[in-house]
């Protein structure tokens, strides 16, 4: 027999909801056996184009590092910026 599900509270803010789910087991609130897989193939993260002036030697170094990894240099820059930002938290 399946255990009864707990009622999920209403949240005033997204921050409050994040905090709640950080401390809860979702299987207490959701019957995952009834879940269905869906795809949101058209979704992309929103981006904004910026202009960034870099010293030539720095840009060449970034391009060389990207070539070694066989990735576009702008993608590598995004990964590095993301990693640095999250290492500061």
Interval 39-50: pLDDT, tens? 888 888 888 999
Which whole number is the average pLDDT over 9-38? 93
Residues 76, 62 contacting (CB under 8 angstroms): yes
Report the C-alpha dihedral over residues 63, 65, 71, 76, rounded to 10 degrees. -80
- Tell which wins on pLDDT, 26 or 40: 26
Which whole number is the average pLDDT over 20-44? 90
Interval 47-61: pLDDT, tens? 899 999 999 999 999
């Amino acid at each position: 027999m399946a255990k009864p599900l707990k009622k999920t509270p209403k949240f005033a803010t997204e921050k409050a909801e994040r905090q709640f789910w950080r401390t809860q087991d979702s299987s207490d609130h959701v019957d995952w056996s009834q879940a269905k897989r869906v795809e949101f193939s058209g979704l992309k993260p929103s981006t904004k184009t910026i202009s960034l002036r870099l010293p030539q030697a720095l840009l060449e170094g970034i391009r060389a590092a990207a070539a070694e990894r066989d990735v576009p240099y702008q993608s590598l820059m995004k990964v590095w910026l993301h990693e640095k930002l999250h290492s500061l938290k």
